[in-house]
Structure 1
Amino acid sequence: MNSAAGKDTMHLDAPRTTRTTPAPRTVTVAYAGGDERRGPLTMGQANMIRCILRDDPEHINNHDVWAIPPGAGPDDVVDALRALALRHEGLRTTFPHAPGSAPVEQVVAAEGTFTVTVLDHTEFPEEPARYAESVARAARAGRFALDREFPLRICLLSLRGVPVHAALASSHAVTDGSALAVLREEFLALLAGEELPAPASFAPLDLAAEEASPTGKRKSEASLRYWERIIRTEPQEMFAEPRAAGADGRARQLTLRSGRGARALA
């Protein structure tokens, strides 16, 4: 782990109870040992990247706060983050493209670096969790550089050298809220010394290959036919669920039965 003084590139919208904002320190974390790969985007990636290039980054980016369990030191946190980068190809993925154009491929790095901004406090605000949330939200500002930036902006909030929270923002090209929840669970498991099983889900490049296969194309065509029929003939209702009530007191409901879907959700 190499440590170097860094510039404050993050605006902290902290509660007024904060006495002073500590000077940030940038830790550069190197990882190596993954597989280098290159290939087309998945349909989901292509759709989300269109939104990323168009929408306000504070709206489209994600954020989360991970509470650091007692007993974990800064090196433990860095080691867990490095392990996540090696475990998940998405965290090692960039999307090269010329200025003014949208990416059409993704590149997975075998090795590289990412940074962690450390804010070491002598005193926390009265509401540390709310403060950590504000730091994570502030990190959402600014577009991710899809062609070169690590998809997590990580800020480690510590109290007199002891890590307390990891506040982070993420690129929606790589993670959504569910993916961040999975990363949080795995991060905590690694800090607890657990050995993680191999990821059960497809890596993005593997999913892209499945989508381009004859079976994948048949599924896509069938899905398009189905949704075209629904959109042309059915009432337009989203997120129909039992607690919702329509104007006539009745609510349309949707039941989805899919073994593969259930396994993916799990």
Structure 2
Amino acid sequence: MNELYKVDTQDPVGEVWLLSDFQNMRTELCEGERCIYPNDLTKTLFHKDLPRFPLLVKYICANDWLSVQVHPDDELAKSLEGDPWGKNECWYFLQKGRIAAGITRQEKPLEDLRNGDLRILTPERGDLACLQAGTVHSLGPGSKVIEIQQASDMTYRIYDWGRGRELHLDKARVATKAAASAIVIEEMRKFDWKYFSIELTKKVEGSGIVITLSEVPELHVLIDDREEFSEEALLVRPGSFWSELL
């Protein structure tokens, strides 16, 4: 990623935020000389005023196992963090990868969980892994994914391989759903979820978010438009959750 994005740092870049409306991480969406931010399109795409643009899209390359972590669901995010929604996410695999997701040894205390206590999955290129909030998980080495999620930065780390970052065991205990695991859709063509739908397509009509699957992925936001891409891309459209959100 350092080479692809021409970032000259000693530490490797592990992820790029392709679409974000978080403070200090706001994506500029430009057409010619005119640039706007994602939140300027929230009502147009989601037909509702929301606290921020509700989806976050990342490009992630993992050289090592990422932290063992869990995210809060929508109800817990409101009660525990005062946030409008939780963090449900999907990973579209650009090459064969590895996931540790879902507790297989439920008798172990949460603070003692390691990857060997989780279900190990090896998605292939073109597979989609869906992780509902509450699933204890980790993304493995060699994985290259497009991550599409609710726009939330709430991550409760359980174990971090001695990297020295803060752990959040008390909140993780509350957020963890012991029976939850990843759902893998092999050779995904279309996936519908209440948070968003994802479709593999070359032709786009109407409105939506498009992520190209090139070596350096590009993100386009289309509003009442029509576009055809040379290669298949991921088309993301809002789900029913946003219109029903109080």
Q: Which band: TM-score by shorter chain?
A: under 0.3
Q: Which has the larger radius of gyration?
A: 1
Higher strand residue share: 2
TM-score computed with the length of structure 1 as normaliser: 0.23
Greater relative CO (CA pairs within 8 A, separation 6+): 1
More helix by share: 1
Please give the TM-score of this superposition, normalised by the length of structure 2: 0.24
